Amino acid sequence: MSLLIATTLDDALAALAAGARPIAGGTDLVVGARHGKAPLPASLVAIDRIESLRTIDRSADGGLVIGAGVSHHTIETDATIGAEWSALADASALVGSPATRHVGTLGGNVMNGSPAMDTGAPLVVFGAEAELASAAGSRRVDMATLWVGPGRTSAAADELCVAIHLPARALRSGSAYLRLEYRRAMEIAVVGAAAAVTLTADGAVGSVRVALTAIAATIVEVTGLTGGSVADVAAAAQAAAADQATPISDLRASDRYRRHCIGVMARRAVEAAARRAAGETIAIPVNRAVGIGMAAGATS
Amino acid sequence: MTVTEPHTARPAPRFVRADGPDKVTGSGRYTADLSLTGVLAAKFRYADVSHARITRLDVSAALAMPGVMSVLTAADVPDVRFGPFVQDRTLFATDVVRYEGEIIAAVAATTAEIAQRAVDAIVVEFEPLPVVTDLEASLAPGAPLVHDGWAGYGAAEVVVRDRNDASFSSITKGDAAAAMATADVVVSSRYVADGCHAAPIEPRAVLAQWEGDKVTIWTSTQVPFDARAGVCETLELPANRVRIIVPHLGGGFGGKCGFHYEAHIAALARAAKRPVRLVFSRREEFLAPDRRREGMIIDITTGMRSDGTIVARTGWIAIDNGAYTADAGFFSQLAAMHLAGPYRVPNVSIEAHLVYTNHQPSGSVRAPTAPQACWALESHTDELAKAVGLDPVAFRKLNAVDTGAEGPSGQTYDEIGLQQCIDAATANAGYGQELPDDEAIGVAIGWWPSFSVPSGAYVKIDGDGSGQIITGAQECGTGAVMTLRQLAADELGMAPEDFQLVYQDTSVAPYDMGATGSQTLFNNGRAVVNAAGQVAEQLRKLAADHLEASPDDIVLADGHASVAGTPAATVSIAELAGIAAGGELLIGHGSGQPPGPPPLVGSTCVGDLGMAAFVAPQFSCHAVRVKLDRDTGVARVLAVSTAHDSGTIINELGALGQVEGGVLMGIGQALTEGTTYDDQGKQRNAAMLEYKLQTCADAPPINTHFVQIATPDAGPRGAKGLAEAPNVATAAAISNALAAIIGRPVRRLPMTAERVWETLNEEAAR
């Protein structure tokens, strides 16, 4: 096995062109190898020391460019992301354990392509794009184009995800990501939902996007949602999510239970996103602030 | 009988355990950390199928691989069938494999990778046999036998066996059928519990090295002497040629009781003529050992008078034994006791079967049988209270045993503190207060015996006045061994820090049963007190000579021997130790007579393995506040209040840790921990992501009160056991909280979010 520790993007892209696979935090790659999912690749290039992958920058249009090597811990504690792209902070705050969040990266979560990834649904509702670079140049793809199946992306073998581009946040908009979990750390989403909501001047929902985690082969967006009162849109999101989900039965849940719970998560995500859009501050992660999470630490 | 008054006048000391800094800083050495020159790596070939006849086994390709130093199968070891209750097990599969983790062959090679490749190169062909997974089907007439030759196996004389029933036990008192017929109210319930795991943080490891005809085995066992006995039996060696040493043990929770892989590794090392080390993966830790918590089907019926007084109880229990009996022989009787419960029940008829299946074998995991049986009984008890319109706590106060009362197996209890436990735990939980929607406090009571068994220790004081306790006891994380320093120090008027512990080495110390049955402090504490007492006697004699006084007047305190009433006449223990070093050395040895079993009156027990009479019984009450998310069925434990009668508490800090760990384990068993199987009896969730232990982030505040009363036939200073009792009642209390919120109990354990949601939907559909 060979391991190249790259310090520049060009070095990393050259290694990929020569057949190496990238490793950042290793939280999926190494754990997967240990569990016999896939052996470690024979040639690895470490990208965790490439400074240009670890920056968070405002774009000219008011959006955000998050380097693929930015850790979940940085995302969950970043004031700008927490205030303007809250759903992503909600998601990163739920990943694994504090140790996982310090080494695990956004790019790794996105490119691992798990249908249960926490950051995926938020990126979909933001209309984010992944920037893929290779020695030959770079391109931007939307998330729906990127993910093609469980653990599979449309990126070529020599392409590296270098950044995630988030469009500017609209006025009176808010977002939230929730998941069903059986314990409060070292957990994986049983199902999850993200919502981004933009309110009209009179407080109704003007536009809404909802995306779902762990109910299909990839993260999927709910279709057919339109504006209306928050209660109506939340109810519609619940019904549409349950209707459009194509869940499987596995160790974590039956398809029937997943279908029910994805509706609950979608409704709660819309409700929380609408509260944030209206200017209310709900602590990150919102999972700890609604439903059973509200009980956290409360004993009276 | 001896009755020991508790030391309530003096607050229990709170001391940091001696092995704590090693473990916290990472300087402590565990078995997998050890290496020896020339050490080889061991790997096992497992059956990977649940029930099949081996038609071909060919290890020649594995043997021929470069770097492979030995390959063993059943043909290479003595033909010995072993097992503490039923001799149904062999080191390697002979002709039939009966669960997926059964070992067919073992390989030692220069690296773990080569060993694994060699294991993969072993050719095994099978003829499938019918897989038995369902407990009731296994007991049915004509069911396929897990052990064709069961009738020919050796077994302990009292074990009652019949085909797939490896150990039948019953408790009969009075006339349950007649009393039930006269009852005003009768309630019947069925509860079903899944199996689960001990899941210690350290997967097990074994390292063996031969020198001539003697072997030293470093191993992660909770029971070094039991491990030694297993090696001696299966490899046909005398005890004095086998030395078991346990480095720091990374937890056990019962999972590392019994004899496991020490003989396989010793045999590999002998064949390879080099040291051999085995280190389990997490997956192996889930699949292979014959120690996991047993699944159960429980039927219970109770008859009451209309005022709630219990008049009769009947029960039927099927316990999943798995493919081999291991130490589960006594489970049927213990489960029957836990289903009878710590109640005044005049008429009892409970039958329990230990049922062979093609699952991984069951074995002693922390309070075996109790959390499941208590969960069923106590959930049933809330159903009883509801049926007669009584508050569940008032119902328990009415029916629970108390000092002087007769329990369900005909034992009349001396001083016990169960009623006080109920009062303290419910009061501290704020039971009865107004709660927000979808919250409730559930209450459950439990009990657990103290185990009275032989145990030994030496105490010596060297010439510089420093002491050593050389004990056969094993520390598995409970802190019980650490407490021995306090006992020796108090006997000798010295400080705990004056003593070093020498432990976990079978060739150095006298016998102890090991970290099992909550017995360490109870029995080894007695041994250490006796050994230290001998040294104290020696010191008093020496001091009497030195100070020209009578030995009877010498007081040992604060590191000095002084004449009572004449404080000026004093000499340091260190100085006396120096004198002794030039004459008769300061050495004590202790064991002491274990208290015998209390009498039973009016009951009959078939398959009596000594579990129907509880020596120095421990009692507990847990009150747990739970919040339910009705939309998803996810339950969250908000707070736990416990009260325990475990006799005198010697080290409060350690005791609180025991209770808190037991409660957290109980929350896991209640809500998230359960083994799931495929239709072939193979585990589907043998990994930490899918087998959901509780994490620190899930831990609620836990309030604990110790009821300390004078305890007859207890251990040193009136102490009873404490390691297992905290694991008994938590799941039951959570069940009762959920039932209070939902309106009916969740009848499957663990009470997962999905099962709670299903129960909610059933309720909504009614």
**Mean pLDDT across chain B:** 95
In angstroms, the separation between the Cα of residue B684 and the nearest Cα of chain A is: 7
In angstroms, the separation between the Cα of residue B700 and the nearest Cα of chain A is: 8
pLDDT value at A298 more than 70: no
pLDDT value at B399 more than 60: yes
Instruction: Return the pLDDT at A34.
Output: 82
Q: Can you list the alpha helix ranges (DSSP code H) found in chain A?
A: 9-17, 29-34, 72-77, 79-84, 86-92, 98-103, 106-112, 120-126, 143-146, 230-244, 255-277
Q: Give, for A22, the enclosing helix (H) or strand (E).
A: strand A21-23
Instruction: Return the pLDDT at B9.
Output: 44
CB–CB of B763/B742 below 8 Å?
A: yes
- Are A185 and B695 in contact (CB < 8 Å)? yes
d(CA A195, CA A122): 7
Q: Is B721 exposed, middle or buried (0-12, 13-18, 19+ CB in 10 A)?
A: buried
- Give the single-character DSSP code of A27: T
| Residue B564 sits at the chain A interface (C-beta within 8 Å) | no
- Are A185 and B696 in contact (CB < 8 Å)? yes
Mean pLDDT for the stretch of residues A47-70? 96
Residues of A in contact with B752 (CB under 8 A): 182
CATH number of the domain enclosing A196: 3.30.390.50
- Are A264 and B632 in contact (CB < 8 Å)? yes
- Residues B642-677 have pLDDT tens digits of 999 999 999 898 999 999 999 999 999 999 999 999
Mean pLDDT for the stretch of residues B361-386? 98
Beta strand pairing status for B185-193 and B96-97?
A: unpaired
Structure tokens given for B189: 């319930």
Q: Between helices A255-277 and B753-765, what is the axis angle to 10°? A: 90
Residues of A in contact with B689 (CB under 8 A): 186, 188
pLDDT value at B8 more than 50: no
| Residue B676 sits at the chain A interface (C-beta within 8 Å) | yes
Q: Can you list the alpha helix ranges (DSSP code H) found in B430-563?
A: 480-492, 525-547
- By Cβ distance, the residue of B628, B631, B754 closest to A253 is B754
- Residues B210-264 have pLDDT tens digits of 999 999 999 999 999 999 999 999 999 999 999 999 999 999 999 999 999 999 9
pLDDT-derived band at B185, boundaries 50, 70, 90: very high
- Residues B597-641 have pLDDT tens digits of 999 999 999 999 999 999 999 999 999 999 999 999 999 999 999
pLDDT value at B277 more than 70: yes
Q: What is the ipTM score, two decimals?
A: 0.95
| Residue B273 sits at the chain A interface (C-beta within 8 Å) | no
d(CA A54, CA A42): 26
Structure tokens given for B526: 């007695």
Q: Give, for B176, the enclosing helix (H) or strand (E).
A: helix B176-182
- Are A183 and B697 in contact (CB < 8 Å)? yes
Which of A183, A248, A288 would you mutate first to test chain B, the one with the most B CBs within 10 A? A183
| Residue A295 sits at the chain B interface (C-beta within 8 Å) | yes
Domain range for A242 is 173-287
Mean pLDDT for the stretch of residues A9-19? 97
- Are A183 and B685 in contact (CB < 8 Å)? no
Nearest-Cα residue of chain B relative to residue A252: B690
Nearest-Cα residue of chain B relative to residue A260: B632
pLDDT-derived band at A31, boundaries 50, 70, 90: confident
d(CA A201, CA A178): 26
d(CA A290, CA B515): 44
Q: Can you list the alpha helix ranges (DSSP code H) found in B557-651?
A: 573-581
Nearest-Cα residue of chain A relative to residue B684: A251
In angstroms, the separation between the Cα of residue B387 and the nearest Cα of chain A is: 30
CATH architecture of the domain with range B453-590: 2-Layer Sandwich (3.30)
Residues of B in contact with A253 (CB under 8 A): 754
Within 8 A by CB and 6+ apart from B110, the residues are: B40, B41, B67, B69
- Give the single-character DSSP code of A201: T
Tell me where in chain B the CATH 3.90.1170.50 domain(s) lie: 34-129+201-251+257-287
Instruction: Return the pLDDT at B19.
Output: 87
- Residues B15-50 have pLDDT tens digits of 678 888 898 899 999 999 999 999 999 999 999 999
Neighbours of A258 (CB within 10 A): 24
Q: How many Cα atoms occupy the beta-carbon half-sphere of A20 within 13 Å?
A: 23
d(CA B332, CA B330): 6
- Give the single-character DSSP code of B599: P
pLDDT-derived band at B14, boundaries 50, 70, 90: low
Nearest-Cα residue of chain B relative to residue A259: B632
| Residue B201 sits at the chain A interface (C-beta within 8 Å) | no
Structure tokens given for B671: 């809500």
DSSP sequence for B187-250: EEEEEEE--B----SS--EEEEEEETTEEEEEE--S-HHHHHHHHHHHHT--GGGEEEE--B--
Instruction: Return the pLDDT at B578.
Output: 97
The domain B296-452+598-765 having CATH identifier 3.30.365.10: the answer here is yes
Chain-centroid distance, C-alpha B9: 32
**Mean pLDDT across chain A:** 94
Instruction: Return the pLDDT at B1.
Output: 41
pLDDT value at B13 more than 70: no
CB–CB of B327/B84 below 8 Å?
A: yes
CB–CB of B547/B569 below 8 Å?
A: yes
- Are B757 and A264 in contact (CB < 8 Å)? no
d(CA A235, CA B121): 58
Q: Can you list the alpha helix ranges (DSSP code H) found in B221-369?
A: 224-235, 262-272, 282-287, 331-340
Cβ within 8 Å of B, A 213-252? 251-252
pLDDT-derived band at B766, boundaries 50, 70, 90: low
DSSP sequence for B519-557: -IIIIIHHHHHHHHHHHHHHHHHHHHHHHTS-GGGEEEE
Instruction: Return the pLDDT at B711.
Output: 84
Tell me where in chain B the CATH 3.30.365.10 domain(s) lie: 296-452+598-765, 453-590
- Are A292 and B754 in contact (CB < 8 Å)? no
Residues of A in contact with B117 (CB under 8 A): none
3-state secondary structure of B44: strand
Which of A100, A256, A257 would you mutate first to test chain B, the one with the most B CBs within 10 A? A257
- Are B692 and A180 in contact (CB < 8 Å)? no
Mean pLDDT for the stretch of residues B523-551? 97
pLDDT value at B351 more than 60: yes
CB–CB of B143/B149 below 8 Å?
A: no
Q: Return the residue matching tokens 């000092």.
A: B403
d(CA B314, CA B193): 19
Instruction: Return the pLDDT at B2.
Output: 47
pLDDT-derived band at B712, boundaries 50, 70, 90: confident
pLDDT-derived band at B104, boundaries 50, 70, 90: very high
Residue contacts between A and B (CB atoms, under 8 Å): 66
- Are B629 and A291 in contact (CB < 8 Å)? yes
Q: What angle do CA B185, B187, B193 make, to 5 degrees?
A: 165
d(CA B458, CA B524): 10
Instruction: Return the pLDDT at A293.
Output: 61
Within 8 A by CB and 6+ apart from B345, the residues are: B173, B310, B312, B313, B399, B407, B408
Residues of B in contact with A97 (CB under 8 A): 695
Residues of B in contact with A184 (CB under 8 A): 695, 697-698
In angstroms, the separation between the Cα of residue A85 and the nearest Cα of chain B is: 25
CA distances for B604 relative to B3, B174, B351, angstroms: 28, 9, 12
Instruction: Return the pLDDT at A292.
Output: 65
Q: Which of A150, A101, A102, A160 is nearest to A130 (CA)?
A: A160
pLDDT value at B10 more than 50: no
Q: How many Cα atoms occupy the beta-carbon half-sphere of B483 within 13 Å?
A: 36
| Residue B627 sits at the chain A interface (C-beta within 8 Å) | yes
- What is the total count of domains within chain A? 1
- Residues B157-175 have pLDDT tens digits of 999 999 999 999 999 999 9
H helices then E strands: how many in chain A?
11, 14
pLDDT value at A33 more than 90: no
- Give the single-character DSSP code of B265: H
- By Cβ distance, the residue of B631, B676, B688 closest to A291 is B631
- Are B698 and A298 in contact (CB < 8 Å)? no
d(CA A24, CA A271): 35
- Are B695 and A184 in contact (CB < 8 Å)? yes
- By Cβ distance, the residue of B638, B685, B689 closest to A295 is B638
Whether A39 is covered by a domain: the verdict is no
Residues of A in contact with B631 (CB under 8 A): 261, 264, 291
Task: Tell me which of 1.10.10.10, 3.30.420.270, 3.90.1170.50, 2.40.30.20 is the CATH number of domain B34-129+201-251+257-287.
Answer: 3.90.1170.50
Instruction: Return the pLDDT at B7.
Output: 45
| Residue A186 sits at the chain B interface (C-beta within 8 Å) | yes
Which of B669, B754, B760, B761 would you mutate first to test chain A, the one with the most A CBs within 10 A? B754
- By Cβ distance, the residue of B627, B694, B754 closest to A292 is B627
pLDDT value at A85 more than 50: yes
Mean pLDDT for the stretch of residues B452-474? 97
- Residues B301-329 have pLDDT tens digits of 999 999 999 999 999 999 999 999 999 99
d(CA B553, CA B304): 61
CB–CB of B38/B275 below 8 Å?
A: yes
Lowest average pLDDT, out of A236-240, B457-461, B688-692, goes to: B688-692
Structure tokens given for A160: 């590296």
| Residue B440 sits at the chain A interface (C-beta within 8 Å) | no
The type of residue at A296 is A
Beta strand pairing status for B467-471 and B499-503?
A: parallel
| Residue A32 sits at the chain B interface (C-beta within 8 Å) | no
- By Cβ distance, the residue of B639, B697, B754 closest to A299 is B639
Beta strand pairing status for B165-173 and B160-162?
A: antiparallel
In angstroms, the separation between the Cα of residue B284 and the nearest Cα of chain A is: 12
pLDDT value at A297 more than 50: no
Nearest-Cα residue of chain A relative to residue B429: A299
- By Cβ distance, the residue of B627, B692, B752 closest to A295 is B627
Residues of B in contact with A264 (CB under 8 A): 631-632
pLDDT value at B401 more than 80: yes
Q: What percent of chain B has pLDDT over 70?
A: 98
Nearest-Cα residue of chain A relative to residue B628: A292
